[in-house]
Amino acid sequence: MHNLALLQFNVSLGKPEENLKRVLSYLNYVRDGSIVALPEMWICGFDYQNLHKHSEKTHEILEEIKRISYLKELAIIGTYPLKIEGDLYNSAIVIEKGKEVGIRHKIKLFPLYDEPKHFKAGSVNPIIEVKGIKVGILICFELRFSELLKELRDAELLIVPSMWGEKRKDHLKTLSRARAIENQSFLMVSNTWGHVGKEEYAGSSGIYSPWGDILAFSEKGDCLLQVEVDIRQVHTVRRYIPVS
């Protein structure tokens, strides 16, 4: 059995220390050994005016995440502003038991939030092994792109760090459940909620089974969602309805 957990909270725009303090507080209540999903750009939100400055704090914040990951044997996945050779990326970084075990830069940048003006797009969409599970990552807007999902067909768990807008909330809820059913895998979507700067975000974070069952869900509010799952259910569903 594996424990899955996600955080949903109202990210404080441009305040990395405040967001880190909140996340560390919640992680203290996560069951030891869990796989944990955090929202997209959770350390600062889309604070574009100060994004380069925030990216300089990413390494320091990752050290704190590594520390609690090691102490509680957690695998923690969220996205961070990451500067590489002068270019900024919206990067999903996977920390397991205190070590970085995978990275994946956002490929599909969201034009309505001006991401293409500030970030460089990634190109690699790997499956990363986390606690013996094959994990695929789709970052927010990427949930809409079936071609990215096809590259993750063998993933047993999909993790979707998000800052998904309130106006498109129904799309998030529909696509989250549909992608779990389509890929016949568990899926966790961790979103922020409420107003962050000028934008309002949808919440609607959830954990879904390979059959499309809603195992945990929260539309609004700061919260920690946790469930225990049997990853063998993925292969049971895939044998029962072979679509590959």
Tell me the CATH number at 99.
3.60.110.10
pLDDT, tens digit (0-9, with 9 covering 90-100), for 168-205: 999 999 999 999 999 999 999 999 999 999 999 999 99
pLDDT at 244 over 90: no
Mean pLDDT of 206-223: 97
Report the predicted TM-score, pTM, of the whole model to 2 decimal places. Answer: 0.96
Q: Residue 47 — very low, low, confident or very high, per pLDDT cuts 50/70/90?
A: very high
Domain range for 99 is 2-240
DSSP string, 134-186: EEEE--GGGGG-HHHHHTTTT-SEEEEEE--BGGGHHHHHHHHHHHHHHHTSE
**What are phi and psi for residue 31, nearest 5 degrees?**
-60, 135
pLDDT, tens digit (0-9, with 9 covering 90-100), for 103-161: 999 999 999 889 999 999 999 999 999 999 999 999 999 999 999 999 999 999 999 99
* Mean of the per-residue pLDDT values of the chain: 97
Mean pLDDT of 2-30: 97
pLDDT at 197: 92
pLDDT at 87 over 90: yes
Per the structure, how many domains does the chain have?
1
Q: Residue 243 — very low, low, confident or very high, per pLDDT cuts 50/70/90?
A: confident
- Residues in the chain, how many? 244
Q: How far apart are CA 163 and CA 141, in angstroms?
A: 9
pLDDT at 30: 98
